[in-house]
Structure 1
Amino acid sequence: MFQSFEETARPDQGPARLEALRAELAREGLDGFIVPRADAHQGEYVAPHDERLAWLTGFTGSAGYCVALTDRAGVFVDGRYRVQVKAQVADVFTPVDWPETGLAAWIAEALPGGGRVGVDPWLFSVDQMRRLREGLDGVEVVACENLVDRIWADQPAPPMGTVRAHPPEFAGEAHEDKIARLAGGLGPAEACVLTLPDSIAWLLNIRGSDIPRNPVPHGFALLNRDGSVELFMAREKLAELGDHLGSRVSVLPPEGFVAALATLGGPVQIDPASCPVAVLDSLDRAEVIEAEDPCLLPKACKNDAELEGSRAAHLRDAAAMVRFLAWVDAQAPGDFSEIDVVRRLEAERAASNMLRDISFETIAGSGPHGAIVHYRVTESTDRKVQAGELLLVDSGGQYADGTTDITRTMAVGDPELVDEETRAAFTRVLKGMVALSRLRWPEGLAGRDIDVLARAALWEAGLDYGHGTGHGVGAYLSVHEGPQRIARTGTVPLRPGMIVSNEPGFYREGAYGIRIENLIAVSEAPALPGQTVARMLCFETLTWVPIDRRLILPSLLSEPERRWIDDYHARVLERVAPLLEPQDRAWLEAACAPL
């Protein structure tokens, strides 16, 4: 399943592509053009057809922008990609720390006398465009044709992946019931525009294959207050659905979507956070109501069937991870490479014969590559894994009953070769993961209210990490799912049924990276004697894979933290050992020994 991936634009190609784009700027009378990593559906993940940012600049991260002006070009990346971008883009592009430096502020400084900057209105949400225009006093933002598409001669075709029904035993609710429930909550709106691929997939109990590693189809939909749905999707993609969609769902050609919007009188509901500007511009006859995508919260709060499916998927995945970790320990340092690591792990997952896909490109960073938060090995960057190094592996699987995501950082070869400073950092990261796992909190708190617990032990040593602590995870859907997250920007209250990752880390550029990640589900906490809070919540651990105890400094742990780690390993052994052959079971017993 491993695909050797070389950068879409090699550094030597960047100057020519930027020069071609600037020729289009001159032709259109523009002073700049903004290239986001986005598509018309405004999801996080894009198909090869929409990898415009990577094609132009070489940067392959999952979020970012390029602002190409006539005399400079900035590539805007967040904290996850500060190291990666330096290695990927040509010298003609300047990395910019984003969101610390905003697009509007950078453009305004670069064009002090004003100017005209072009954007593709399908690639910016309503909210994004408002923020951009508010910050660009004196600079005109011009909606125009996508200029990158003009110069990308071998641009891949739009995806046409097969769509299949998602069985009720995994979905837990018939799509007709979801439609009726959400349509009844639209309030004054006659219709609601849906553009997010995972929202449409969840609502209709379908799964697709238009996005690599994410089982979602491309399309648009109108959810109507009368309980009907108009689905704008190519019929050839739906050939295997049979009569699954039923009489309440009408299938219409995607090229008719804009015309259909123009006929709506309203009121029509859009989510400004995900609705493309082009959609709003097409609703010129309608009264527009702005509200959150009605699928987001119901999708995030998994029902009993989805939670049970996730538990089963994680146990299956844990057995594959243990077999893989035992294999790593059996290898002689220097005799295997990062690509070998990726191939072996993906083979172990596939051995279950239940894997539909991996849930994202496997991250296997050894030594200094571990400090690149979303490092993706290529044939040109592959390196041998050496004794005394840390190996960071972040990976996951897509199964019909659930989506997994797990990170483990391990010592390679003799663990005594790892210095005490590195072990201390590992232990502080672990303390943060344990703190969240043990937490009980009053209902109503959001991710931003608890993010500090994952960082406190690192802060004590003057350390931190530049990414969020946790993201939502779908039920055989996208491995990154909103609206919940554990981060300083996470404002959505955590609710029972939500699945989030718990993944603090620490990265020393040029040396190593550390990240430890489990998936956890929000559940109601049992009442305590004398409890005065009406309702408290806690986390249920879903991931059952040992943590490299050889890297732990027990002296840095409190007694409750030690008990949690020992109890976790005891439960890992109890759950996973019956799924293993004797040799791997023996490895697991040693890995799960008490501290």
Structure 2
Amino acid sequence: KRDAVALITFMAELEKKVKSNVYMTEVSAALDLKTERMKGLYNRGLSFNSISAVGSNGAIIHYSPSNLTNKQITTSEMYLLDSGGQYLDGTTDVTRTFHFGTPSKYEKECYTRVLMGQVDLARFKFAKTKFGPYGREIDAIARRPLWEVGLQYRHGTGHGIGMFLSVHEGPGRISLSHAPFESDSPLDDGQFFSDEPGYYEDEQFGIRLENIFMVKEVETTYKFPNTTFLGFETVTLVPYESNLINYDLLSQSQVDWINDYHKRIMDTIGEELRVNKPEAYNWVAARTRPITRTVSSSTVTYPSFALLSTILISLFVWV
């Protein structure tokens, strides 16, 4: 909650400055965000050096801004911000991608498909067994919307999160790669992971969306005997960039999840922002308005190839 307030306050101010032609760069933005985070109760600095990346720099997955590579944040290029804080009561890691001008149709589709993958994984429910599942068995769910159109990203979808410890913490992870069994563990109730699909167009732009979610026991419509079902609760509370979403690519269930998520943001931190940070409140309120689609769900299809592959992998591992 406190980290979300800091990030939203910073982003509202950054967007206002960029649109007012105030000179802001990758480096200065990262420093401003660090200052804002350190105002928070129990904050003890950053959980890692912020990845503050404009345009082509965003295509470098682990980019680190410096005076040699520093670019200005403008209304003509995408801006990727991957950052986090260390607090005595938790560790955060969150990524959002922005465009403060008019994105291209292709940029919007890429962003939307990354968003679809993140939402699909966050909505996923699975049976808990003594054999798993492992993160490698569900990674493909987040990639499916990109795979459908021939796109891909070259990193894992999620990593474990520590508690005032390492922001990348094992042994569990969500990745297609198969780590040796002794250095991996199945998903289990109470674990925290990142959910961070992305897409990177070389020399052009980078897109990544990252939330932290917690593995938890979930309710299901039916009750299979002696079986516990797990799912995810997203604990990051930062809205998406409405300027980059093609709503008609989304399924109704994805729209419903996003609307519920945005409502939870406002229910949790809206009043605090309204009272103490009105400009930040207006910024987040504009991005959490309910969204709708203008095409029927029957016109949007989602092939089950990736999910089928995931199931087959799971069967292979468990048999």
TM-score of the aligned structures, taking structure 1 as reference length: 0.46
| Corresponding position of 1:26 | none
Q: How does 1:344-493 map to 2 (within 5 A)?
A: 344-412=32-100, 414=101, 417-443=102-128, 444-489=132-177, 492-493=185-186
Q: Distance in 1 between matches of 2:192 and 2:18?
A: 37
Q: Which moved more, 1:574-583 or 1:530-539?
A: 530-539
Q: Which runs of 4+ in 1 moved over 3 A?
A: 530-533
1:470–1:486 contact (8 Å) kept in structure 2? yes
| Corresponding position of 1:555 | 248
2:42–2:89 contact (8 Å) kept in structure 1? no
SS at match of 2:283: helix
Task: Give 1:586's aligned amino acid.
Answer: N
> Displacement, 1:576?
1.4
SS at match of 2:40: coil
| Corresponding position of 1:584 | 280
SS at match of 1:331: helix
| Corresponding position of 1:317 | 3
| Corresponding position of 1:520 | 213
Deviations 1:468-507 (Å, cap 9, x if unpaired)? 0000010110000001000013552101111100000000
User: Tell me, which stretches of 5 or more residues in structure 1 are unaligned?
Assistant: 1-314
2:26–2:52 contact (8 Å) kept in structure 1? yes
> Displacement, 1:573?
1.0
| Corresponding position of 2:261 | 568
Q: How does 1:117-266 map to 2 (within 5 A)?
A: none
Task: Give 1:529's aligned amino acid.
Answer: Y
Q: Distance in 1 between matches of 2:176 and 2:91?
A: 25
SS at match of 1:483: coil
1:328 pairs with 2:24:
no
SS at match of 2:74: coil
Deviations 1:492-551 (Å, cap 9, x if unpaired)? 210111110000000001000000000011111124335457111011111000010110
| Corresponding position of 2:317 | none
Distance 1:434-1:533 versus aligned 2 partners, 3 A rule: farther
SS at match of 2:172: strand
1:538 pairs with 2:231:
yes
SS at match of 2:138: helix
2:153–2:199 contact (8 Å) kept in structure 1? yes
SS at match of 2:18: coil
| Corresponding position of 2:289 | 593
Task: Give 2:270's aligned amino acid.
Answer: A
Deviations 1:91-119 (Å, cap 9, x if unpaired)? xxxxxxxxxxxxxxxxxxxxxxxxxxxxx
% identical aligned pairs = 40
| Corresponding position of 1:100 | none
Deviations 1:296-345 (Å, cap 9, x if unpaired)? xxxxxxxxxxxxxxxxxxx1100001101101210135621111210111
Task: Give 1:450's aligned amino acid.
Answer: I
SS at match of 1:481: coil
Q: How does 1:88-127 map to 2 (within 5 A)?
A: none
Deviations 1:240-285 (Å, cap 9, x if unpaired)? xxxxxxxxxxxxxxxxxxxxxxxxxxxxxxxxxxxxxxxxxxxxxx
SS at match of 1:538: strand
> Displacement, 1:371?
0.4
Q: Distance in 2 between matches of 1:342 and 1:366?
A: 12
1:442–1:533 contact (8 Å) kept in structure 2? no
SS at match of 1:576: helix
User: Highest CA radius of gyration, 1 or 2?
Assistant: 1
Deviations 1:393-426 (Å, cap 9, x if unpaired)? 00000000000000000112x2xx2100110000
> Displacement, 1:386?
2.1
Task: Give 2:146's aligned amino acid.
Answer: L
Deviations 1:213-233 (Å, cap 9, x if unpaired)? xxxxxxxxxxxxxxxxxxxxx
Task: Give 1:410's aligned amino acid.
Answer: F
SS at match of 1:343: helix
Task: Give 1:572's aligned amino acid.
Answer: I
Task: Give 1:476's aligned amino acid.
Answer: F
| Corresponding position of 2:201 | 508
Q: Distance in 1 between matches of 2:241 and 2:158?
A: 21
Deviations 1:331-385 (Å, cap 9, x if unpaired)? 1356211112101111110111421120000000000000011111111111111
| Corresponding position of 1:341 | 29
Distance 1:522-1:353 versus aligned 2 partners, 3 A rule: closer
Q: Distance in 1 between matches of 2:282 and 2:73?
A: 24
| Corresponding position of 2:315 | none
> Displacement, 1:585?
1.0
2:2–2:41 contact (8 Å) kept in structure 1? no
CA RMSD of aligned residues (A): 1.3
TM-score of the aligned structures, taking structure 2 as reference length: 0.84
Task: Give 2:159's aligned amino acid.
Answer: H
Aligned residues: 278
| Corresponding position of 1:295 | none
Task: Give 1:324's aligned amino acid.
Answer: F
Higher relative contact order (CA 8 A, sep 6+): 2
Q: Distance in 2 between matches of 1:386 and 1:322?
A: 19
Deviations 1:562-592 (Å, cap 9, x if unpaired)? 0101111111111111232222111111111
2:160–2:173 contact (8 Å) kept in structure 1? yes
Task: Give 1:482's aligned amino acid.
Answer: G
